[in-house]
Amino acid sequence: MNDDVPDDPIDDAFAARLRDQLVAVDLDAVTAARIRRLAHAALAGGPVRPRWRWVEATVGATLAAAQLVWAVSAVLGMYR
């Protein structure tokens, strides 16, 4: 598509320079501990209630749709 674009436009020197100039970041300890705890529970228990996930998703989507309809009708009602 573009003959003038090299196979790997990012050489090691540029990548290293960019990495050096990015702010070093990490999760805070509380969040990291929470994720580990939840993940270990998932590993121990296998899939989490797989039969109920579609029910939760359906109920969630229905509630969201109802809220949307309510919000739109409330706004329309203000201009009546």
Q: Binding residues for other proteins, per CB under 8 A?
A: 1-2, 5-10, 14-15, 18-19, 21-27, 31-32, 34-36, 38-40, 42-44, 46-48, 68, 71-72, 75
Q: Is 2 exposed, middle or buried (0-12, 13-18, 19+ CB in 10 A)?
A: exposed
Task: Quote the least distance from Cβ 54 to other proteins, whole Å.
Answer: 16
CB-nearer residue toward other proteins: 40 or 55: 40
Distances (CA, A) of 50 to 6, 7, 46: 47, 44, 10
Q: Name the minimum Å distance from CB 52 to other proteins.
A: 14
What is the rounded distance in angstroms from the CA atom of residue 27 to the CA atom of residue 34? 11
